[in-house]
Chains A and B, each alone.
Chain A
Amino acid sequence: MIEASKITYEGDGPIVNEFCITTCTVNGSGSATANNILYRTLFHMGIPTSGKNIFPSNIKGLPTWFVIRSSEKGYTGRQLHDDIVVAMNQVTFEKDMEYLANGGVVFYADHLKMPETPREDLIYYPMPIKNLMKTADAPRKLQAFMENMLFVGIVGQVLRIPIEALNSTIYSHFSSKPTIAESNFQMVKAGFDYASENLEKKDRFFVKRLPPLTDYILTDGNNAGGLGSLFGGVEFCSWYPITPATSLVEAMIDQVDQLRLDPITGKKTCVILQVEDELAAMGAAVGAGWGGLRSMTATSGPGLSLMTENIGLAYFTETPVVIWDVQRVGPSTGLPTRTAQGDLSMIYSLGHGDTSHIILIPGTVTECFEFGWRSLNLAERFQTPIFVLSDLDLGMNQWITKKFVYPDQPIDRGRIIWEDELEQFKDWGRYKDIEGDGIPYRTVMGNQSPKAAYFTRGTGHDDYGRYNEDPENWAKMLLRIEKKLRGAIPLLPEPIFRRSKEEDVEIGIIGMGSTDDALRETQDVLAEKGISSDYMRVRALPTDSAVREFIASHSRNYVLELNWDGQLCEILKLEVSEYSQKLISISDVGGMPMTAEWAVERIINQERKEGKRGN
C-alpha cells in the first residue's frame, strides 16, 4: 500500500490532460462498455490514453477495477496513485479512496455508505444513480449496463468533455445498432445534464482537445497478435482456452472468415481448432507444422508446462511452429488474471536435455501484430519452435499504439522442397547440411516423389533421419542445430534504444515487453531529477551484439522486470558474462503492471547504495 495521500499536485492551476481515473465496480456488472466509451472518447480527442482492466478470476460479484490513464506527454503506463476515482462498489469504497493523491477526486454513487471519517483533502461528487435510473426509460434487463453509462456522462461533464465527443464515440461503438447507440447516449446525456445542472466544479482536472492522433489506433495486444498471425499466413492454430491467451485465438476466430478466404476458390485457408488439452494443442500444432502448414498455438504458463514434451520434439525433429505465451503470474494457478514476466527462464530452454529457443518479445501492441507474422517466417526459415512472449497487460489491456503496418517481407516458407526441386539434389537427406548454414532442406507429406519420404523421430537420427545412437552422430546433430539457430540472430528484432540527450551517460536501463511505457516515463522522470540514462528494450533472445555493446558502454545497467528472480538479468549475465558486474537486477512481481514511480524509486535507492548520487 502506497501512501497516496502524501502525493500533492504542483501549483494551483488547471491540470490538463494528465490524470488517471479508476472506476471501481463489481465484475459482471457490465461496466466494460462504459469504460470503453470514456477512454475511447479521450483518445478521439487526441489525448494518448490507455485502459487497464484489473479483474478477479471470477465471473460475477467480485470487485473489479478499470484504470484509464490519459497523458498528453504520452505516458500511458500504470501509475501507483489515482487522481480520480469512480466509486460504484460499496465493498471496496473506503479502500479505493486510499489510492487517491492529496486533492484527488471521488465520484461516488450516492447510495453507497460513506466511511465514518472520509478524507478531508478529497473532492467529492455524488452521483444519484438510483434516482436517475428511476426517471430514465431503460429496459430492465439492461439496468446495470445503463447505470454505468450514467457515470460516463457525469464524469465527462465535470472533466469538460463535450457531449458531442461522447455522442460520436457511442455511435461509432454501436455502429451497427443505432437503436442501442441512442439508448446508451440518452443515459450518458442524463448523467451529463444532471452534472451540468447540479455539480459545481471544484477539482482541477480538465480535458482539452488536441490535434487528432491519426497515426494511432487503440486496441489490445492479443487482438494484434491474432491479426498479425492471420496476415502472416498462418494455416493452422490448435489451442486450449486459458486466461490470458484466450482472446488472442478468439480474435482470430472473429476475423478469419473475413481475412482468410482464398481469393481463387473462396474457401478458407486457415483452420482454428480447439482441442481437449494443451498436450493435444501442441501435438496438433506440431503435426500441422510437420505436414507443411504454417502452424501456431497460444497459451499461458500452465499450458506451456503441458506443451513442453511436444516442444522438445519439435525442436529436435526441426518442425516449425509458433507458440504465443501470454504470461500470467505463477507458480501454479498463481494469480491467473494478473500480469507478470515470469516465464522467460522457463521458455528459453524449455524441454528436457539441451534445448535453446528463439524468443520474440513485443513491447507494444503494434509489435504484437508485427511479431505475429514475423514469427511464422522465422519458424519456417529455421525449422524450429519460435516463442512470442507477451503478457496479460500487453495482451488484454487497451493501448494507444501505432497503426498496424502491412508486412514488408513476403511469406517465407523456408527450405520446403517439392517433387521437381528434390530431383535437383544428388544426395538429399532430411537433416543434411547441404548449404553449410545448418538449415536442411525439408520435404513434407503429399510429396509424390518416391525419394521424398523420411521417418521422423525424436530419437537419435542421422542426416537421412535414420535411427542412430552413435555419440559422434549425436554431437554432430546438436552442433548443426546450434549453428542453425546462431544464424537466426541477425534476423531477430533488434533492441530499441532511447538515448539520453547527454553523451556518455553511466546508467543504462534495460527492460522488455509491456514495461516499455513505464520505463520510458522512468527515464524522463529520472532526467528531470538530474539523473541521465539510456534505455534499451530487448526484443529477442538470444541477444545480439547491440545488447552487448549497450551493456559494455554503461557503468551500471539496471534490468527492470516483473518477476521475482530477475530472469532477464540472469540471462544477460550469462550471455554477456564479461560485463556481468555491470548488470543490476531490479525486479518484483505482484500481478500489477510496472509503474514509473516504483522504478524511479528503486533506481534512485540503488544509485544511493552505489554511492554515486545523493538526492
Chain B
Amino acid sequence: METEARTVELNRCGLTLGDYKGAPSTLCPGCGHNAIAAQVQNAVWELGLPPERFVKISGIGCSSKSPNYFLNRSFGFNGLHGRMPTLATGACFADASIHILGFSGDGDTASIGMGHFKHVIRRNVPMTYIIENNGVYGLTKGQFSATTDQGLVLKHQGVNMLPPLDMCMEALISGATFVARAYSGDAKQLKELIKAAISQRGIAIIDVISPCVTFNNKDDALQSYTWGRDNEAPLHDFKHISNKDEIDMANFEPGTYREIKMEDGTYMLLRKIDRDYDPTDRNAALDLLTESYKNKYFATGLIYFSEATATIQELYDLPNEPLNRIGNDRLRPTQNMLVEINRSLY
C-alpha cells in the first residue's frame, strides 16, 4: 500500500520514489542486498534530496553490484575489489556538496580492503559507508570471508577454523563517529539508520547483516534470515526526522525517547526498548560490541555517535564552490610567479 501511494507522492524536492529507482536487480531473488537497495532508495527519497546530489561508489562483489539497482540519476562507480574507499577519497574533493554513498561487502571491506577501510575512517572522508555483510563470498560462489562465524561449515570449504572480525568494532577503534549495525530483514530500522548516516557530517559506518540465500542461509548461521529473525535485538526504537514537526508522525510519546540533534539540523529519536543504552558513550559501545561478539548477541541500531571531527575536506582550505567547476584562469600560477622561481633557481 505504502509503495503504491508513493508512486504519485512527491517529496520535498518534488520527485516521486520512482525518480530514485535503479536498474532491475540481477542478484538472487531474496538476497538481503536487494532489501538494502530498496531502503537506500526510500531513505534518500524521504530525505527529500535530489538524486543528483549523491554519488554511489563501490568495490567488487555482489554488494558492489547493488548500487546499479537504485538512484539511476546519481553517478556511480563500480571500481576495484577492496578499493572503494580510495576512489571515494579522491572523488570527495571534486564537489564537497555531493554526498558519497559507499557500498562494499565483507570480502571487499573485511579482507582485501581492510587497510583502506581503517584509513578512510582515519581520514574522515565525508560519506556513508555501507557494508553489506553476509559472511560469505557470493560472486565467487561460497568461500569463507573474514566475518564468517567460526565453525561454520560450507559445501566446498569444510569448517571455518578462524574467528570472525567485527566490523563495527573495527570502525569504532579506528575513530568513526557514527557506527551502526542493521539487519536487512529489518527494513524500517535500516532506512532510518541510512537517513541518519547521510545526515552525519563525517564518515558514517553501517554494518548491515544481509543474508546470502544461496551460500550462507542455514538456520544456525549468524548471517541467515532465520537467525536474524529470531535473534535480532534492536537497541532502540530508532527514528530520523528532518524537523520537529515530524515527531508527532513518529508516534513517540513525550518523555519516552531521547532526542539527538545532528549538525545538519536533523534529529535522531531513540526510544528505549529493553536496556538502557547510551550510544554517545564510547566505552558503553565497546562493552556492547565485546558482549555481542562473545555471546552472539545480535544487537542492532545506533551503536556509537558523536559530533564529527574535521573531515578531510575541511582540513584543506578549499573554495566553497565545487573544485571541479573552478575556471582554468584560477588554476594556473602567473607569469610573474614563474619569473620569481627562475630567479630563485639561478
Partner of A452, one of B52, B79, B92: B52
Residues in A with CB closer than 8 Å to B88 are: 287
Residue of B nearest to A416 (CB): B324
How distant is the Cα of A181 from the Cα of B316 in the complex, in angstroms? Answer: 35
Residue of B nearest to A376 (CB): B331
Partner of A236, one of B57, B90, B329: B90
Contact code string A270-313 (vs B, CB < 8 Å = 1, else 0): 01010111011011111111111111000000000000011001
Residues in A with CB closer than 8 Å to B317 are: 267-268
Structural contact, B333 and A230, CB atoms closer than 8 A: yes
Residues in A with CB closer than 8 Å to B78 are: 455-459
Interface residue ranges of A222-261 to B (CB < 8 Å): 223, 227, 230-233, 235-236, 238, 255, 258-260
CB-CB under 8 A for A279 and B83, given A413-B328, A444-B94: yes
A11 within 8 A of B: no
Chain A residues within 8 Å of B, Cβ to Cβ: 44, 216-219, 223, 227, 230-233, 235-236, 238, 255, 258-260, 262-265, 267-269, 271, 273, 275-277, 279-280, 282-295, 309-310, 313, 317, 403-404, 406-407, 410-411, 413, 418, 443-450, 452-459, 467
Structural contact, B77 and A269, CB atoms closer than 8 A: no
What are 5 A-B pairs with beta-carbon distances under 8 A? A263-B329, A265-B319, A403-B342, A446-B94, A467-B68
B322 within 8 A of A: yes
B337 within 8 A of A: yes
CB-CB under 8 A for A313 and B90, given A279-B116, A445-B324: no
Structural contact, B75 and A454, CB atoms closer than 8 A: yes
B142 within 8 A of A: no
Structural contact, B332 and A231, CB atoms closer than 8 A: yes
Residue of A nearest to B119 (CB): A276
Q: Could you tell me the distance in whole angstroms from the C-beta of A315 to the nearest C-beta in chain B?
A: 13
Residues in B with CB closer than 8 Å to A445 are: 55, 75, 91, 94-95, 98, 324
Structural contact, B86 and A287, CB atoms closer than 8 A: yes
Structural contact, B77 and A287, CB atoms closer than 8 A: yes
Residues in B with CB closer than 8 Å to A258 are: 337
B163 within 8 A of A: no
Interface residue ranges of B185-208 to A (CB < 8 Å): none
Structural contact, A458 and B90, CB atoms closer than 8 A: no
Residues in B with CB closer than 8 Å to A267 are: 317-320
Partner of A275, one of B68, B77, B89, B93: B89
* Number of chain B residues whose Cβ lies closer than 8 Å to a Cβ of chain A: 57
Structural contact, A219 and B333, CB atoms closer than 8 A: no
Contact code string B313-346 (vs A, CB < 8 Å = 1, else 0): 0001111101111101111110101100110011
B272 within 8 A of A: no
How distant is the Cα of A446 from the Cα of B323 in the complex, in angstroms? Answer: 10
Residue of A nearest to B340 (CB): A258
Identify 4 new A-B residue pairs, CB closer than 8 A, beyond the known A273-B89, A407-B332, A418-B325: A230-B333, A231-B332, A260-B331, A264-B330
Q: Could you tell me the distance in whole angstroms from the C-beta of A381 to the nearest C-beta in chain B?
A: 13
How distant is the Cα of A218 from the Cα of B115 in the complex, in angstroms? Answer: 41
Structural contact, A284 and B345, CB atoms closer than 8 A: no
Partner of B331, one of A217, A235, A279, A467: A235
Chain B residues within 8 Å of A, Cβ to Cβ: 50-52, 55, 57, 67-68, 72-80, 83, 85-95, 97-98, 115-116, 119, 312, 316-320, 322-326, 328-333, 335, 337-338, 341-342, 345-346
How distant is the Cα of A219 from the Cα of B86 in the complex, in angstroms? Answer: 34
Partner of B90, one of A268, A295, A446, A448: A295
Residues in B with CB closer than 8 Å to A219 are: 345
CB-CB under 8 A for A448 and B52, given A286-B90, A403-B342: yes
Residues in B with CB closer than 8 Å to A455 are: 67-68, 75-78
CB-CB under 8 A for A291 and B346, given A407-B332, A411-B331: no
Structural contact, A283 and B90, CB atoms closer than 8 A: yes
Q: Could you tell me the distance in whole angstroms from the C-beta of A251 to the nearest C-beta in chain B?
A: 11
Residues in A with CB closer than 8 Å to B346 are: 44, 216-218
Q: Could you tell me the distance in whole angstroms from the C-beta of A172 to the nearest C-beta in chain B?
A: 9
CB-CB under 8 A for A271 and B93, given A262-B319, A293-B324, A404-B342: yes
Structural contact, B80 and A458, CB atoms closer than 8 A: yes
Structural contact, B52 and A447, CB atoms closer than 8 A: yes
Structural contact, A313 and B79, CB atoms closer than 8 A: yes
Residues in A with CB closer than 8 Å to B57 are: 287
Q: Could you tell me the distance in whole angstroms from the C-beta of B24 to the nearest C-beta in chain A?
A: 12
Structural contact, A283 and B52, CB atoms closer than 8 A: no
Structural contact, A271 and B316, CB atoms closer than 8 A: yes
Question: Taking each of A218, A259, A284, which has the highest tally of chain B beta carbons within 10 Å of its own beta carbon?
Answer: A284
CB-CB under 8 A for A284 and B337, given A269-B323, A457-B78: no
How distant is the Cα of A259 from the Cα of B73 in the complex, in angstroms? Answer: 37
Residue of B nearest to A451 (CB): B73
How distant is the Cα of A285 from the Cα of B93 in the complex, in angstroms? Answer: 11
Residue of B nearest to A291 (CB): B94
How distant is the Cα of A467 from the Cα of B68 in the complex, in angstroms? Answer: 10
How distant is the Cα of A413 from the Cα of B342 in the complex, in angstroms? Answer: 27
